[in-house]
Chain A
């Protein structure tokens, strides 16, 4: 079945460092979404990407839609303690035919810990 693999599974960094994580798919995607989940909360949408090669920023966060359409990258610059959380990538679920009804497939998440 369709899978999204996120790398790395976890990261332990010092405040002020830059962070890079990625997500790869076994099939081509036409949309990539990046979510952040803080402890005890639901996922919050950070960035949505709709075009191969697209580079989109949201504050210190930058995400890119890979040109092969099988991967996406998320970078966080100058990390701060409140960046702690789990970062998920997501893309449209595969469908046999017709509409997918907006269903998403999620990666397993990258757990980010930031030491002050």
Chain B
């Protein structure tokens, strides 16, 4: 049981390049989330999904797209990377159970855009 995994762990992009970050979870969780973490700003929600085939915008969605074709995978795409997207990206998942808000995080992807 690996929990939540993310690939790649590190990436450097040039401005205008595109890439996809992959998040996978083996806990059969319904809900998945993508966050970015910047110094002094905590974690901010980019997009989220409440189940296979669904996605929704979070707090800072501009410049990102997501897809959830399979329940266990949640992909985050950057179509045209900008230096402002230099950040650490975390994926999280949550089981849909009663009033539980407990989210479980992956190890993160550190992205630098030059």
Interface residues of A (CB under 8 A from B): 4, 30-31, 33, 35, 40-45, 48, 50, 88, 90-93, 101-104, 106-109
Contact = CB atoms under 8 A, between A and B. Distances in A.
Contacts of B108: 40-42
Interface residues of B, number: 27
B90 A31 contact: no
Contact of A33 (B33, B44, B102, B107): B102
Given A102-B31, A107-B42, A42 B101 contact: no
30 contacts: A4-B42, A31-B99, A33-B103, A35-B105, A40-B107, A41-B108, A42-B90, A42-B92, A42-B105, A42-B108, A44-B105, A45-B102, A45-B104, A48-B100, A48-B101, A48-B102, A90-B101, A92-B101, A93-B45, A101-B31, A101-B56, A102-B31, A102-B100, A102-B101, A103-B48, A103-B58, A104-B45, A106-B42, A106-B43, A106-B44
Contacts of A30: 99
B78 interface: no
A108 B101 contact: no
A89 B43 CA distance: 11
Contacts of B33: 103
B77 interface: no
Contacts, number: 62
Contact of B94 (A4, A31, A88, A102): A102
B41 interface: yes
Nearest to A42: B105
B42 A101 contact: no
B103 to A, nearest CB: 6
Contacts of B50: 101
B13 to A, nearest CB: 20
B58 A42 contact: no
Contacts of B103: 33, 45, 102, 104
